[in-house]
Every structure is written in C-alpha cells, then in structure tokens.
Amino acid sequence: MDKSIKTFLKHTAKDYHNQTVNPPVVRASTIIFKSMQDIRKTQKRGSKDPTGYHFDYGRMGTSTTFTLQQMLKKMENSYHVFLTPTGFGSVFLSIFSVVKPGDEILVADPVYSPTRLFTQDFLKNFNIRTIFYNPHDLNSLKKNITKKTKLIFVESPGSNSFEFQDLSKIITIAKKNKLFTIIDNTWATPYFFKPINLGFDMAIVSATKYYSGHSDVMGGSLAVNKRTFNLVQKAYKITGLRLGPDDAYLIIRGLRTLDIRLDKHQENAKKVASFLSKNKKIKILYPFNKGSFNYKMWKKYYSGASGLMGLKIKTKNKQSVIKFVNSLKLFGYGYSWGGFESLALHQDKQEQGNRKYSKLNKNEHLVRLHIGLEDPKDLIEDLKKSLKHIK
C-alpha cells in the first residue's frame, strides 16, 4: 500500500463508471452472459486468475463483494481475502479448509467460546482432536506437537481475559514443524496489526465489529497467504459461505472511518482504564500496565489498542458486581462489540468455556467493557457512580 491506510480508506473503491463515491450494490444469483462462448471465456480467465473478478455464478459474489475483498486484501497485505456471512463463518472456513479426520490441532486456551465448542466438541465427531495450550507458556504448545498435528489456532488477545502472546515464537514453532497457523485478529484489525506480514497463514476478522462499526451488519473476513489459497478456495466453494452485497456495501461504508473510530476508541479506552486502575478491587485487562508481560507482548506486535477491555473484580459478593453492571446508564447490555456505542457484560463461567489455564480464581468476577465513542468524561462519571455498588 503506497498511501497511508488513512488516505487509502478515503480514496479507494470510488466508482467513476457510475460517478459515485461508493460502489453500487449489485445483487445477483444468476450472472448473465451474451453467449456460451462468453461463459467459457470467463471460466477460463477464472482458472488462470482465481483471485480476480471472474464470476460465473452469484454464490461467488458480485462487483460489490469483490470491491470489499480488494480493499481488505490491501489492508491485510495478503494474497487474497475471503468473505463470510459472520465472523464465526471465517473461523469455521479457516479450520475446515486444512484439517481432515485423524488430525490434531492446537488451540489457544482463551479462545472465543463458539470457537472452543467447535474445535473441542464438534470436530471430535470427525475424529479430529483438539489440544488447548497455555498462551503464556509456549512449552505447553511445543510438548503437544505430534506427527498428527496439523495447525495452531491463535486468538490474540484472548477472548474476554485478554492474554497477549509471543506471536513470532509461535510462528517459529509452527514453521519448524510444518504446521498451518491461523489467528483471530478481530480485536486489533489490520489497522493495528497485520498477521500475514508476521508469517501467519490465515488471519480472521469479524467484520461485524470494527469494520462495520455501527452494530447493524454481520460479516467475516479471512485473509490468506498464497500457501493456503487453494485449500481455502476449494472449501469456500463447497460450503457456500457467501457474504451478501448489501452487507458488503455497509462494511465498505464503515471502513471509510475505521481509522478515525479506532483512534478514538483507543483514546477513550486509555482514559477509562486510567480511571479504573485506581480502584483496588479491579484489575484492568488491557495493555495498560507497562510492567506486565501482556503489555510487553502488545507493544512488540501492535501499533495500537482498540476499545475492548476486561475488568477482573475481586469480591465475595457476586450480586454486587451484577448490580454494578445493571446500574450503568451509558453502557448497553448485549453481545458483540466494535460499534460506536459503549457496552457492558458480566461474563459467567459458562460464557468463558471450560478453560484449562485461563480460569478465574475464587471470588473473582469478569466484566467486559467496550468503550465507545461517547465523551469519556461522561463514561467515567457513569462508571464512578455505578462502582459504588461493588461491596
């Protein structure tokens, strides 16, 4: 990318044919041609250039989805980007593309709970074994590699508990053992970290979150390198995981302001974290404490931090934590995050999943906050009033 990402997001994907700043929404199931010869020519061009705009059927996309793919491809600095209807669709596609019965996979212990259920329970039915590793002790990763191991699945930072990992060491281990590597990079997006540049084979982003930015669309992206492209493309065609053009358009529109929004999310989150750090009952799960391992790993690989953080609250009174959350006025209560609005969610053990390493100790409670684009002074004042309920 020659221009900075800030300029790129404002100037890319203009449609001079239709004389519009944003590309039109093109909906199609059937792609029509002038003749059978034209169909064959398009299919031939598609065989020679499978990443190009050579569709013969609507399941493979339209000009709208292709525009989004090209934008994300440049942002990720990847060989290609596949689009899926949800973020978890990209998780499924990435793993499904490279595993087969009899394989083993290594997964970071604090992954997104649906990812944990898919790998731990669902894949077991297909004779694929999942082993979870300690994100802060990569010996637990190395010692579980066998001849059957096929891939390492990373989520950084860890879902809800926000563990940052030594990513280059994981890449080194994987390459030494000829393993595929996948990372869920939704928290940072390629605006703050580009996994393909570091050496990951595949990088997932839930477009539902910061790409969209307005909490009104779902989607996922899977950036791949050349090594994995053919495997993923084959699985993509078979599964029919297609992002609709209307959703693609909304994500394109959201991307125009990704940099502005993420910079502001980060600015607000740092101010909120600074305020919360003064409370002795709360441990901030965010790259805030400069002496911590998590901070060092974040600083090593990331150029910034987004608006999502965790609060580990120590108290014997669980109901007081729930009362703290319920009394917040400027934070909505609901799943997902990455929109313009602030959100709060008490995380119980079931939502964390049956973790082996990243467990809460007795009398510890986890609250997840997404710090939105409101005035941070108002958010801090709201938190200040609500924290009085924690006993």
Per residue in 251-309, pLDDT (tens digit) is 999 999 999 999 999 999 999 999 999 999 999 999 988 989 999 999 999 999 999 99
Predicted structure pTM score = 0.95
Cis-peptide, bond into residue 101, ω within 30° of zero? no
Q: Is the peptide bond before 157 cis (omega within 30 degrees of 0)?
A: yes
Cβ count near 44 (within 10 Å): 11
Tell me how crowded residue 288 is: count the other CB atoms within 10 A of its CB: 19
Distance CA 181, CA 204 (A): 11
Is the four-CA dihedral 119, 79, 68, 205 of positive or negative sign? Answer: positive
Top mean-pLDDT range of 5-14, 311-320, 343-352 = 311-320
Residue 18 pLDDT level (bands cut at 50, 70, 90): confident
Burial 381-391 (b: 16+ CB within 10 A, else e): ebbeebbebbe
The answer to whether 99 and 128 are in contact (CB under 8 A) is yes
- Residues above pLDDT 70, as percent of the chain: 99
Q: Which of 89, 96, 108 is nearest to 153 (CA)?
A: 108
H helix and E strand count, the chain: 16, 12
On whether the CB atoms of residues 133 and 106 are closer than 8 A, the answer is: yes
Per this entry, what is the length of the chain? 391
pLDDT of residue 94 exceeding 80, the answer is yes
For the chain, the first-to-last Cα distance in angstroms comes to 52
Ordered structural domains, the chain, with CATH: 258-387 (3.90.1150.10)
Q: Which whole number is the average pLDDT over 158-163?
A: 95
Q: Are 61 and 83 in contact (CB under 8 A)?
A: yes
CA proximity to 120, closest of 146, 139, 95, 145: 95
Rounded CA gap, 361 and 378, in Å?
32
Q: What is the pLDDT of residues 190-228, one digit of tens each?
A: 999 999 999 999 999 999 999 999 999 999 999 999 999
